[in-house]
Amino acid sequence: MSTEYDDDDDNYDIEGSFKRSSSTGRSANLAKSKSVKKVVTKALKKTSDKEYHENFKHSKIGRFYFFFLWGIVTAVMAYYTYQIAIQFLDASPGSTVTFTTLERIYLPQVVVCNWNQEINGPCDTCFLEFNGCSYLVDSSDCSSLWTPVQFHTDYGDFNCYSFNGNVSTRFYSDKTGYAGAYTALFSVNISNTNSIPDPLSSRTGLQVTFGIPEKISPDDIYRENRYAQVGSDTFFSIVTVNTIRNYLDEKNESRNVTRYETTSSAVNLGNAYYPDSVNPTKGYVAVSFSFEIISSQDINYDYGYTLENFWGDWAGMIGTLM
């Protein structure tokens, strides 16, 4: 048995394969040629654009264009710098008020003085006597917290008593209203009604000063305008006010000041205290005080437009114009 091969079929298959291979090769070469041509064209165009821009930049028209453009940018920047400089120089401090609630708060130093000062030595109506103190929360005795002190001013000497005057031992309070008050009783000599009173030493009563311990000065005592009259219990309701300046003053010092604002009311002590039944020239004055609220009122002063704002705006404009 013999097997016959068809030579024509074999030749056909080989030839067809060769033809297909040749066709694929030509397509790849053509695609490659087009890609190279595209890259070369793009490179030539980029070189042409670069040469064009270089030529334009160094031409008279190009130089005038860039000079005009930079002139506009410089003018805009100069005008903007002038505007923000004026804003910075004309800036004035603004204020914001906040209330900080606390669990407890420092008590101020309280200085109670006879409002008659000794001008030419001791005088009968410049006398001041401390008679006792009571803390109304628990009716405890607070007399040990008061110490006698005298303030010497250019206009006379004041006989006083000071409460909570040591900054190293100052204490707090968490009570408000009259029920949480400290009440101190004082006695003063009053003028003899049968004689002509001296206008500088005939007033009968006390003056009361509130301040930071060890910071109350003789000038503060002389300028004081809070008073308590004879025969009454004058209650002072205290609010702590902090003034915070977040900038340097003329002396390049920031000024943070704490002061105590008060409102007052008075009730009559009754006939038993005015005048004294034994000494008709002696009268009694009670002074009571506590906080209105256990919080501080903070007044913050700051410039609305600071140097940091100026440089920030200036840098922002440069970034915009770049």
> Within a 10 A sphere around the Cβ of 165, how many other Cβ atoms?
19
Does residue 299 sit in the same domain as residue 161? Answer: yes
What's the pLDDT score for residue 171? 84
Residue in 177, 178, 107, 117 with CA at minimum distance from that of residue 145: 107
Structurally, how many domains does the chain consist of? 2
Give the rounded distance of the alpha carbon of 298 from its chain centre: 7
Distances (CA, A) of 282 to 125, 184, 196, 227, 274: 9, 16, 17, 18, 7
> Within a 10 A sphere around the Cβ of 15, how many other Cβ atoms?
10
Domain range for 20 is 7-77
The H or E element spanning position 22 is helix 7-57
What's the pLDDT score for residue 9? 45
Does residue 65 sit in the same domain as residue 108? Answer: no
Q: What is the pLDDT of residues 257-277, one digit of tens each?
A: 889 999 999 998 876 665 555
Percentage, residues of the chain above pLDDT 70: 65
The H or E element spanning position 223 is helix 218-223
On whether residue 313 sits in a domain, the answer given is: no
Does residue 36 sit in the same domain as residue 163? Answer: no
On whether residue 261 sits in a domain, the answer given is: yes
What's the pLDDT score for residue 191? 61
Task: Answer with the residue of higher pLDDT: 305 or 224.
Answer: 224
Does residue 69 sit in the same domain as residue 214? Answer: no
What's the pLDDT score for residue 85? 77
Does residue 285 sit in the same domain as residue 229? Answer: yes
Start-to-end CA distance of the chain, whole Å, equals: 94
Residue 316 has pLDDT above 90, yes or no: no
Does residue 156 sit in the same domain as residue 296? Answer: yes
Does residue 162 sit in the same domain as residue 290? Answer: yes
On whether residue 322 sits in a domain, the answer given is: no
On whether residue 311 sits in a domain, the answer given is: no
Distances (CA, A) of 221 to 149, 177, 257: 12, 26, 18
Q: Radius of gyration (Cα) for the chain, nearest Å?
A: 46
Q: Is 248 helix (H, G, I), strand (E, B) or coil?
A: coil
What's the pLDDT score for residue 275? 57
On whether residue 43 sits in a domain, the answer given is: yes
Phi, psi dihedrals of residue 32, rounded to the nearest 5°: -65, -40
Does residue 166 sit in the same domain as residue 216? Answer: yes
Distances (CA, A) of 77 to 45, 85, 89, 285, 310: 37, 12, 18, 71, 13
Encoded tokens for 312? 């920030």
**Residue at 15: amino acid letter:** E
Does residue 127 sit in the same domain as residue 209? Answer: yes
Q: ∠261-204-117 over CA atoms, to 5°?
A: 80
- Strand 282-303 versus strand 256-268 pairing type: unpaired
Query: How many whole angstroms separate alpha carbon 93 and alpha carbon 50?
Result: 55
Query: How many whole angstroms separate alpha carbon 237 and alpha carbon 235?
Result: 7
Query: How many whole angstroms separate alpha carbon 114 and alpha carbon 201?
Result: 10
Q: What is the DSSP string of 262-283?
A: EEEEEEE--GGGSS-SS-TTEE
Query: How many whole angstroms separate alpha carbon 322 and alpha carbon 319?
Result: 5
- Strand 105-106 versus strand 172-173 pairing type: antiparallel
Does residue 144 sit in the same domain as residue 273? Answer: yes
On whether residue 35 sits in a domain, the answer given is: yes
What's the pLDDT score for residue 305? 66
The angle that helices 60-89 and 7-57 make with each other, rounded to 10 degrees, is 60
Residue in 162, 246, 177, 155 with CA at minimum distance from that of residue 211: 162
pTM for the model: 0.63
Q: What is the pLDDT of residues 154-196, one digit of tens each?
A: 888 999 999 998 888 888 899 999 999 999 999 988 765 444 4
| CATH code of 290's domain | 2.60.470.10
Which of the four pLDDT bands, split at 50, 70 and 90, describes residue 47?
low
Does residue 166 sit in the same domain as residue 52? Answer: no
Q: What is the pLDDT of residues 60-106, one digit of tens each?
A: 676 677 777 777 877 877 877 877 777 767 666 667 888 888 888 99
On whether residue 93 sits in a domain, the answer given is: no
Does residue 115 sit in the same domain as residue 158? Answer: yes
On whether residue 24 sits in a domain, the answer given is: yes
